[in-house]
Amino acid sequence: MKQKLLLLATLSTFALGSAALGDLAILDDSLGLSPVSVFDVPAPEAFEYLDTDPKVAGVLPRAWEDLPPQIPHRAERYLPINARVNKCLECHDEPDKIGKKVSGKPTPMSEAHYVRDGRELTLANNKYVCTLCHAPQTEAAVLVGNTFQGAR
Ligand code: HEC
Ligand code: HEC
């Protein structure tokens, strides 16, 4: 008798278990962030980076203090950065003008981008690849909505 009860209990747990699983089944277009079925090949809309001339780009708002500012102007023609060429430096490497921003002129990189040896400032190697931290902009729609608001 005891054994029969145990069997019944086990069977009903299985039955309930699978019913509950059935309700929780995830549809194949709800897996991951892509809004299409996992069996389709998604084709997101192509986007282009802004082609704004640096002289008229101005600057973009910063979401919080000490955030690497977003690149407000075109960047594609200044990339890629490699061991021999870094076009960003041609405009932004002005250690004598640090902290002196003039609208329409390249903002000098801050002292945090340099290593100081006495009076001499040398570009820090870990700041050489600007796009590790500074991102070019597009007007592409966000893939996943969010309610983020800057801290300032
Ligand atoms: C032809 C000169 C030029 C080149 C090359 C250039 N920039 Fe700029 N950059 C500017 C100018 C001009 C501004 C706008 C400054 C203003 O109006 O206050 C600017 C602004 C910026 C800003 C915003 C600064 C702030 O205060 O918010 C960042 C970040 C930046 N550039 C990064 C880059 C990076 C990274 C590259 C290389 C991919 C690059 N720039 C190449 C001229 C240049
Ligand atoms: C490791 C991350 C990192 C890298 C790499 C980096 N930066 Fe920055 N950058 C920052 C941060 C963080 C700030 C904001 C704080 C500050 O001004 O130091 C900043 C600020 C700036 C500013 C604004 C300065 C100001 O006074 O408002 C400019 C312009 C800039 N960076 C240009 C560049 C360029 C050009 C390169 C490549 C040669 C570069 N950065 C590489 C992190 C980085």
What ligand has the least distance to the C-alpha of 72?
A: 1
Q: Ligand 1 centre from 142 Cα, in Å?
A: 24
**Most informative mutation of 62, 70, 73 for ligand 1 (most atoms within 8 A of CB):** 73
Q: Which residues contact 140 (CB under 8 A, 6 or more apart)?
A: 45, 47
Between the CA of residue 129 and those of 69, 88, 113, 142, 147, what are the distances in Å?
15, 9, 11, 25, 30
130 contacts 88 by C-beta, under 8 angstroms:
yes
Q: What domains can you pick out in the chain, each with its CATH number?
A: 1-43 (no CATH), 54-132 (1.10.1130.10)
Residues 72-112: tens digit of each pLDDT? 999 999 999 999 999 999 999 999 999 999 999 999 999 99
Percent of the chain at pLDDT > 70 equals 85
* pLDDT range class, residue 29, cuts 50, 70, 90: confident
pLDDT in tens, 113-144: 999 999 899 999 999 999 999 999 999 888 77
Q: Is 104 left (phi over 0), alpha (psi -120 to 50) or beta?
A: left
Confidence of residue 43 (pLDDT cuts 50, 70, 90): confident
User: Residues lining ligand 1, judged by CB closer than 6 Å?
Assistant: 54-55, 57-59, 69, 71-73, 75, 78-79, 87-88, 90-92, 101, 103-107, 130-131, 134
pLDDT band at residue 3, thresholds of 50, 70 and 90? low
